[in-house]
Amino acid sequence: MENRLQPDELSAPSSGIMTVFRGFGIASCFSESALSSVSVMMQQLAEAGQVINNEYTLNNTRKAGRDLLFFNRVPKVGSQTFMELLRRLSSQNKFEFYRDKVQRVETIRLAPAEQLGLAAMINNYETPGVFIKHVCFINFTKRLVNVVVYPIGNSDFKLLRRLIEYCINTFANMYFLFSRTESSVLINIMYFADYAFSLSEPIYLNVVRDPVERVISWYYYVRAPWYYVERKQAFPDLPLPDVMWLKKVISVAIYYCFVLNKNKKNYDKSFLQDYETCIKNNDRECQYNEGATREGIGDHRRQSMFFCGHNEECIPFNSAEAIEKAKRVVDEYYAVVGVLEDMNTTLTVLEHYIPKFFKGAVDIYYRHMEEFRKINKNIYKPPVSEEIKEIVRKNFTREIEFYQFCRQKLHKQFLALKLSQSTATTYH
């Protein structure tokens, strides 16, 4: 039986007594109470029969074929903050910074041919470098086999249709790309082994967040007035949402602009019930039913999908199969999965496990902490009661399990640094 711990918060500062801890190669700010809790957690892990491996075995950075960091960022986990941190570090640590352009429609699940195209593009970037995009995990390293090109005359569409129908009905994992010349249609028939590709493995990075806090954050993020200003500036012809849906936005905006009158201490809680009303009324947008497969602008409930991948088994919400696959991917591929609620621990682990990119991250973050904290801060996000959060948590059981799994691994990586009793080994 697997033992799952709920890790203590190692990074929460206590009442003002801060220490710079360098004795074991860790240069970060920790409270004295947090440092003392390390030994407590080590004892908990030992009693649960879980081994704290050394930092070498816990570091997947060593598996990378190139000095290319792939940050397939989960939305609403502080990823904008980490992206800005990487941008600043790129000049200091001498690496290239690449990010995906703003998309009209953000597609996180891709067909195998699209995965191959994206992986090949990333693989061609100059190194050392970092590429950042909202997208599900892509396996770069397994093989693409048997690529066949058939030229077919423009007039022979019946043969084309019969060929495609035969292949789809006969073979698994077969996909088609088409290109047209003046005299023929070229069909690239590609057979994928396990939907993955024989390219150099990057250094995988991501961040997670408490899944209930994350879904609440997303709910208000897509309703913030500045979100639509930015979207309309990027895509002027983009239509506004449905009027009834938009009314939820207006109520929050009016409340903050006119009711609070910049005095957030004296607010009428009965006025602000948007997400809570959504839950209580069983609104379709706020239904979190196990096995549900709905996708859309308000359906960012499945944090685990960014680790599980693009296949059909990753779609159902809160499913055991998707969560187990996501865990395997984190263990096998990701150098670090940071945790928004454990920022100190995350930054320290990043500095030591991916030093080529994150050397100096702790110093830069804390010197400019106020600037980082303002990134994507949503002043239109009202409080949500613990009662409502507890209702939602009952439907997020496996997503919470995955979050705790990632958090526990991060803390194991941190503890391994402390156990090494020496400066962290540099792998890249």
Per-residue pLDDT of the chain (428 residues; tens, 9 = 90+): 333 333 343 333 333 323 233 333 333 333 444 444 445 555 565 566 555 567 778 889 999 999 999 999 999 999 999 999 999 999 999 999 999 887 777 789 998 888 888 998 999 999 999 999 999 999 998 644 444 444 555 555 565 566 555 555 554 445 545 555 555 555 555 444 444 467 899 999 999 999 999 999 988 887 776 666 677 777 778 776 665 665 554 444 444 444 444 444 444 443 334 889 889 988 888 889 998 887 655 457 899 999 999 988 999 999 999 999 999 999 999 999 999 999 999 999 999 999 999 999 999 999 998 898 888 787 778 889 999 999 999 999 999 999 999 999 999 999 998 765 443 334 34
CA distance 56 to 427: 9
The partner residues of 153 in beta bridges, in order of sequence, read 184
Longest dimension (CA), the chain: 79
CATH for the 18-140+198-220+290-420 domain, from 1.10.287.10, 3.40.50.720, 3.40.190.10, 3.40.50.300: 3.40.50.300
Secondary structure of 353-365 as H, E, C letters: HCHHHHCCHHHHH
Residue 404, Cβ density class (10 Å: 0-12 exposed, 13-18 middle, ≥19 buried):
middle
134, 310, 368, 411: the active-site residue: 134
The predicted pLDDT at position 12 comes to 36
The predicted pLDDT at position 14 comes to 33
CA distance 181 to 409: 52
CA distance 374 to 369: 9
The predicted pLDDT at position 307 comes to 97
Q: Are 70 and 131 in contact (CB under 8 A)?
A: yes
Q: Is 134 a catalytic residue?
A: yes
Sign of the C-alpha dihedral, residues 226, 227, 232, 237? negative
Number of neighbouring beta carbons within 10 Å of residue 98: 17
The predicted pLDDT at position 195 comes to 45
The b-or-e profile of 4-39 (16+ CB within 10 A means b, else e) is ebebebbbbeeeeeeeebeeebbbbbbbeebeebbe
Number of neighbouring beta carbons within 10 Å of residue 416: 21
The predicted pLDDT at position 317 comes to 93
CA distance 130 to 225: 31
Sign of the C-alpha dihedral, residues 320, 69, 364, 17? positive
